[in-house]
Structure 1
Amino acid sequence: MTNPDTPRPYDLLTLGRSSIDLYSANVGRPFEQIEAFNAFVGGCPLNIATGSRRLGLATAILTGIGDDQVGNFIKHFLEQEQILTNWVATIPGTRSSAVVLGIEPPDKFPLVYYRENCADINLNLDHVAAVPFGDFRAAAFSGTAFSKDPSRTAMFFALEQAREHGVTTLLDIDFRADQWFDPRAFGVTIRAALSSFEIVVGTEEEILATFLTDKEQLLIKHQQISAPEIRGNIDTAIQQILAAGVKTLVVKRGKDGASIFQSGKEEMKIPGFPVEVLNVLGAGDAFCAGFSYGLLSGWDLYKSVRMGNACGAIIVTREGCANFMPTYEEVMAFTAGYEGL
């Protein structure tokens, strides 16, 4: 990360998805028996921006919304959270994205995306060019933003701009198989971008997806798009990411916490916080928010990842993602019941 004393007006820019999230109001009920949904907001970059803002960072988001009421819903939430919306583009001829989720704890969370001609995937070079990257200390990208053009090219351009202005670059791998014309294309694209990222964060499955070569390696049960099963050699995949030039790789391991990998160093294991799971969706984004807060506050990697683990543990006990991100005070109260940070 950049020096915490760098005089830049904003801490973190997130780039990519934003959506209205419709979550089952009938927790535990099979999807076909759901009678009502609660309306929240979501999308990996929006969740990270919200979580980071609630912890105390000055955050902004580059995303696209349609000229529709759903877009108004999303932007209103961002403004209420005091997230800078200068680069939330209203894109004519598109629709704001939507997600529908069933909640069947502990291990069934069927997920349906509505992203045909969605606004955020239509972010283009002009949208990126309008962002003053030199005003930010760090930028967090999500893998899904690379899934289609014009967003894909816009993200590569944003990476160039970030590096040119000395902005620390972080990738949340964010593998969503059904957002790619071929799941193997995800790996080809992300591998092309890896050398531009200083920090990469992902689950073991997402790291394996980065090197997916055979569709048979991928299995999705109960339409759990965000939690696939992927066969492969995780140790080899980790070393390949580091060999690409990534300085720090953080592997999220759920209830087991997370691990930090850096070239030439031993794996550093950071314990998690055992909790009873209500909804796993958004846990990884909460992790990135907490992790980013720690690093941009000048904390070391261990404490920053521990902060990420705490935020992820809190969010899995709650109903949704962005709307339920914890504040700094809530995280401190939560960790006080364990061994702290």
Structure 2
Amino acid sequence: MTEAPGTAPDPVPGPGAVLVLGEALIDLVPVAGDAEAHRAQPGGAPANVATGLARLATPSWFAGALGNDGFARSIEHRLVSAGVELGLCARPDLPTALAVADPGPEGTGYHFHLQSTATFQLPVRTDVERFAAVYVGGLAAVVEPAASAVAATARAAAAGSPLLVVDPNVRQDRTLDAANGARLLRELCEPAQVVKASDEDLAVLWPDATPDETARELAAGGRLVVLTRGSRGSTAYSGTAEPVSVPAVPVEVVNTIGAGDAFMAAMITWMVSLGVHPGGVREFTPSSVEEMLVFASRVAASVVAQAGTEPSLPVDA
């Protein structure tokens, strides 16, 4: 597979830059008080992470695919306004994928419209040595042709010097092949140095173990594993050390869409700011892990407390 046309010549990332590979799409979110109305909101977990990184002052390079419709222009405006670099994006002459959000008491479900869209025509990035960290995950990890590009880029990162960060971010819908998707996400976690996943993600991917057991096993392979549990906080597992947990920040919940992605962006920001390298995840002390979780929880809370998905730095950070 070759890199997509239109991505050269590539701009040059500066120190501490993060490469984010995955989808940018449109979430159609129900409007409160109007059962027939939906608001079009730029989304996609990787695009949310790229935006979150830029909002947190971390150099963010989004390597996705933007189409040729008004939705793509809205997505581009959101990314550029946040400060995300788009020089590595593909530009297929196709429409943008849609995700119809279905919020509920246990979280937000989605129904997808993905076929023949620009969103999953991702470029393969093998030039990952220029970045401090590489993030992969989201729908792009399980929807072809993007899934092949994500896997190839992850392998390149794992073989080099960037910190490979994976968020499996399981999505379930009749338009997706659940068994094959779970296999692809498990394989994506294998080469990662950092895995961030919700308890629901791990329960789907490894149904024969509890999320805690799975997180411990992944961590025993030399990874830093962060398990998020929504309002019940988060727990980090590093090697065979005792896990470190922090509570969620108390906040009046307005919106849960994008909270996990904000948490992820904050984790990456924290690690990149300290110059953490792939081997360095084994050297985290309990106090440093706790500091990271507290920071990420506070950033996630900034999203939960508002209607949008844009995170902000804690005021005393």
Contact 1:10–1:59, Cα closer than 8 Å, also in 2: no
1:241 aligns with 2:218: yes
Q: Residue 332 of structure 1 corresponds to which residue in structure 2?
A: 315
**Cα distance change, pair 196–268 in 1 and its aligned pair in 2 (3 A):** same
Q: Which among 291, 294, 301 is matched to residue 306 of structure 1?
A: 294
1:287 aligns with 2:288: no
Contact 1:260–1:269, Cα closer than 8 Å, also in 2: yes
1:160 aligns with 2:160: no
Contact 1:10–1:58, Cα closer than 8 Å, also in 2: yes
Contact 1:12–1:58, Cα closer than 8 Å, also in 2: yes
Distance 2:161 2:14 in 1: 11
* Structure 2 letter corresponding to 1:320: G
Q: Residue 184 of structure 2 corresponds to which residue in structure 1?
A: 189
Q: Which among 199, 202, 207 is matched to residue 204 of structure 1?
A: 199
**4+ long deviations beyond 4 Å:** 106-110
Distance 2:201 2:107 in 1: 19
**Cα distance change, pair 39–143 in 1 and its aligned pair in 2 (3 A):** closer
- Describe how 1:1-341 pairs up with structure 2 within 5 A: 8-25=14-31, 27=32, 29=33, 33-92=34-93, 94-101=94-101, 109=108, 111-123=110-122, 127-129=123-125, 132-178=127-173, 181-212=176-207, 233-243=210-220, 245-298=221-274, 300-321=288-309, 324-326=310-312, 328=313, 331-332=314-315
Q: SS in structure 2 opposite 1:34?
A: strand
Structure 1 gap ranges (5+): 1-6, 214-231, 334-340
Q: Quote the offset at 1:181 in angstroms.
A: 3.9
**Cα distance change, pair 308–265 in 1 and its aligned pair in 2 (3 A):** same
Deviations for 1:243-267, whole angstroms, at most 9, x for unmatched residues? Answer: 5x35100001212221011221001
Q: Quote the offset at 1:87 in angstroms.
A: 1.5
Deviations for 1:13-40, whole angstroms, at most 9, x for unmatched residues? Answer: 1111101233233x2x4xxx43543332
Contact 2:44–2:138, Cα closer than 8 Å, also in 1: no
- When structure 1 is superposed on structure 2, of 57-66 and 109-118 the one drifting more is 109-118
**Cα distance change, pair 149–101 in 1 and its aligned pair in 2 (3 A):** closer
Contact 1:292–1:304, Cα closer than 8 Å, also in 2: no
Q: Quote the offset at 1:320 in angstroms.
A: 2.5
Contact 1:49–1:60, Cα closer than 8 Å, also in 2: yes
Contact 2:110–2:173, Cα closer than 8 Å, also in 1: no
Distance 2:207 2:90 in 1: 33
Distance 2:176 2:258 in 1: 24
* Structure 1 letter corresponding to 2:19: L
Contact 1:13–1:139, Cα closer than 8 Å, also in 2: yes
Deviations for 1:287-316, whole angstroms, at most 9, x for unmatched residues? Answer: 011111111122932211211111111211
RMSD: 2.4
Distance 2:44 2:172 in 1: 15
Distance 1:18 1:179 in 2: 20
Contact 1:143–1:171, Cα closer than 8 Å, also in 2: no
Q: SS in structure 2 opposite 1:41?
A: strand
Q: SS in structure 2 opposite 1:193?
A: helix
Contact 2:168–2:189, Cα closer than 8 Å, also in 1: no
Q: Quote the offset at 1:138 in angstroms.
A: 0.4
Q: TM-score, normalised by structure 2?
A: 0.84
Identity across the alignment (%): 24
Distance 1:164 1:238 in 2: 23
Deviations for 1:80-117, whole angstroms, at most 9, x for unmatched residues? Answer: 2221001121113x32122233556x656453322222
Distance 1:297 1:259 in 2: 21
**Cα distance change, pair 157–268 in 1 and its aligned pair in 2 (3 A):** same
Structure 2 gap ranges (5+): 1-12, 276-287
Distance 2:160 2:196 in 1: 22
**Cα distance change, pair 67–211 in 1 and its aligned pair in 2 (3 A):** same
